[in-house]
Structure 1
């Protein structure tokens, strides 16, 4: 009982400290230490039997293991995003979308701009950085409350695109290693779920914004707000989409032979294509590479800090009990897989981190039961993108605080609604469709 209190109490305190503004690099190891103590784990390896679990070893193994596995993908994605930004390609694509959709649909324009960049392979964190200046301009002109910008960015980047079939984001590629599938696993169901999440999520986001406007909320500018008017010469928007297509094409042709490594090549190809097509529009390509690398370090370190927390949790007896309970849930095994991955993603605050911890344990169990690998791939991918958006999640903290300059109190309710709830409903729909035999 004390172990369970430590497990869920540590998670609850981590969420609370994050909501209060504590840095994840401090909060995550502190709460991991609390979980370890209440579960009876030794703090240092010198105090444990040889090879036995302890706080320091398990935390740092989770922390460094995640970085070791995914650093090159993070940095390739971040640099790709920064060169798209520095060349003006990301801005050009965003403005072109706005010109076609219209200023009256400012929220939809932000969502679609994020979706196009995300499905084109640009790192989630970089998409938020790239589209935020455009979002500020659109929300200002439409006079909409700025506290909804994080929700619009997250909804367009991390729901119907990030975990969909064919997406170059790592959340769609991690299951390949453990399930022997492809990034297009369960594509029939994926299309239906993605359309549902987009339509329902956008309707809900618009409803929340209109309700706030009806109560008198308006856009409030700040001296620190970025402007998009300063740059007038931009590359052709259609040519600017070519690097996005290059990323998708390379990942499509090489995913069978190279697996997850194909994504590194694809994103590198996107960087090269951006340079070749838009090289005359670059402002400072060296700076773009440097900022991309630093952005990747920040993003992956924030994520790894919470994955380290998950590494300690994974070593506790309480975690084993919880996994046994989840995998024993009656009904479709897809339910247990979705709940387990979603819960661990919530504990680690990371969709990719949740998969990296859960799948090595769960994949053999469910495959031995005869569960369809493609159905399991798509279900756990979508599920990983739900509870990872709890307040302490690395992406959530970065987007709300670092990028948008908002507080969790103001911005998180809407963000949580269109990510946690909408993605959760998407998981339910996917399980139902797979259970009916669609896509299997």
Structure 2
């Protein structure tokens, strides 16, 4: 009982500290210490198998060792797209084609194309936000919905879909021996459903807000859209296609390592195609490297918290309860991965913790690995976007300058409620198809 109280209390504390702006390198191990103390895990190694210091760092370093090259190349690819203006050019072209009458759809589609092409969700948010701000201003729409539009286009139907180069679609490849295109038919249906439902929901929320008198509010700190010599939009699209095609060609022979080759190909292609449009190549490399270290460090810090949680007695009780849910095994897997991703506040962190434990169990129960892959991927993108999620905090506060109070509930509807409904649809379809 004390261990369960500590586990739940540690999660609540992590959420509160993240909302208060605490650095995850401090908040995550501090909260993990609470879980360890209540779970009877000693601070330093001794006679017992688990100790806080070694267990936390094994989770932290294990995640870094497994995924650093993917994070590094993904961050560099995003920074190259940003520094050359290729991301802005492609996003601007999409937005101009759709126009002000469909401002929300333009923002979401621009984010979706860039994200599905392998650009980091953080770079996508930074690139699209100034143009989204201009569109919402011209359409006189409440700006507090911009974070929701950015998040919906980046971390829902694109992030967890079959073929996506995002890490949430590739972690199951490592643990289940599957393909990034696992259950692509179901994935296509679910992604289309999530996109349509999300479009309907965000437009409904905005119309209701406008009817209540909400309008766009200008701020003196609003960034201006950068004016520069942009490359042709096709030069932004081609590197995305290189990433997608390379991962498709080599995913069978290289498994999860195909993602390294794909992102490397994207970096090289944009350096070749847009070499004369680099604003400051050295700065882009330095910022991309630093960004990769921060991104994987934040995620690894949360994975370390989850590793301590996994070592606590309460975690075993929770897993037994979830795997003991009567009925279809996919339902139990969906609930388990969703819960653990929510616990860690990270889709990638949740998958890295859940699949080594749950994958062998459900495969031994006769669950199709391809189905488990897709259910796990979609599940990871449901409750991961709780208020303490790193992407949510960065997008709401640092990029959009909003508060959780004003902007978070549209995000919750679009990035948690919609994926949960999509997850239910996926489970149902897998029983029928």
Q: TM-score band, normalised by the shorter chain?
A: over 0.9
1:106 corresponding residue in structure 2? 103
- Which of 384, 388, 393 matches 1:388? 384
1:60 corresponding residue in structure 2? 57
Offset of residue 401 of structure 1: 2.1
CA contact (8 A) 1:75 1:293 kept: yes
CA contact (8 A) 1:303 1:349 kept: no
1:21 corresponding residue in structure 2? 21
2:252 corresponding residue in structure 1? 256
1:2 corresponding residue in structure 2? 2
Q: Secondary structure of the residue that 2:115 maps to in structure 1? A: helix
Offset of residue 216 of structure 1: 2.3
Offset of residue 106 of structure 1: 1.2
- Which of 180, 187, 192 matches 2:189? 192
Counterpart check, 1:328 vs 2:311: no
RMSD: 1.3
Counterpart check, 1:415 vs 2:416: no
Counterpart-to-counterpart distance in 1, 2:242 and 2:167 = 17
Map 1:26-425 → 2, pairs under 5 A: 26-45=26-45, 48-50=46-48, 52-231=49-228, 233-425=229-421
Q: Secondary structure of the residue that 1:148 maps to in structure 2? A: helix
User: Could you tell which deviates more after superposition, 182-191 or 55-64?
Assistant: 55-64
Counterpart-to-counterpart distance in 1, 2:297 and 2:132 = 26
Counterpart-to-counterpart distance in 2, 1:192 and 1:111 = 18
CA contact (8 A) 1:128 1:153 kept: yes
User: Could you tell which deviates more after superposition, 401-410 or 84-93?
Assistant: 401-410
Q: TM-score, normalised by structure 2?
A: 0.97
Q: Secondary structure of the residue that 2:274 maps to in structure 1? A: helix
Offset of residue 214 of structure 1: 2.1
| Residues 1:399 and 1:96: Cα distance change in structure 2 (over 3 Å) | same
Counterpart-to-counterpart distance in 1, 2:339 and 2:79 = 32
Offset of residue 145 of structure 1: 1.9
Counterpart-to-counterpart distance in 2, 1:58 and 1:369 = 29
For structure 1, the 5+ residue unaligned runs are none
Offset of residue 229 of structure 1: 4.5
CA contact (8 A) 1:332 1:435 kept: no
How many residues in Structure 1 have an aligned counterpart in Structure 2? 433
User: Could you tell which deviates more after superposition, 164-173 or 220-229?
Assistant: 220-229
Offset of residue 143 of structure 1: 2.0
Counterpart-to-counterpart distance in 2, 1:303 and 1:350 = 7
Q: Secondary structure of the residue that 1:183 maps to in structure 2? A: coil
CA contact (8 A) 1:125 1:299 kept: no
Offset of residue 293 of structure 1: 1.3
Counterpart-to-counterpart distance in 2, 1:215 and 1:64 = 50
Counterpart-to-counterpart distance in 2, 1:21 and 1:349 = 15
Offset of residue 336 of structure 1: 1.0
For structure 2, the 5+ residue unaligned runs are none
Offset of residue 24 of structure 1: 2.2
Offset of residue 163 of structure 1: 0.5
What whole-Å deviation, never above 9, does each CA across 1:349-373 have from its counterpart, x for those lacking one? 1111111111111111111111111
Counterpart-to-counterpart distance in 2, 1:25 and 1:135 = 31
User: Could you tell which deviates more after superposition, 392-401 or 318-327?
Assistant: 392-401
Counterpart-to-counterpart distance in 1, 2:55 and 2:207 = 47
CA contact (8 A) 2:177 2:255 kept: no
Offset of residue 73 of structure 1: 0.6
CA contact (8 A) 1:307 1:349 kept: no
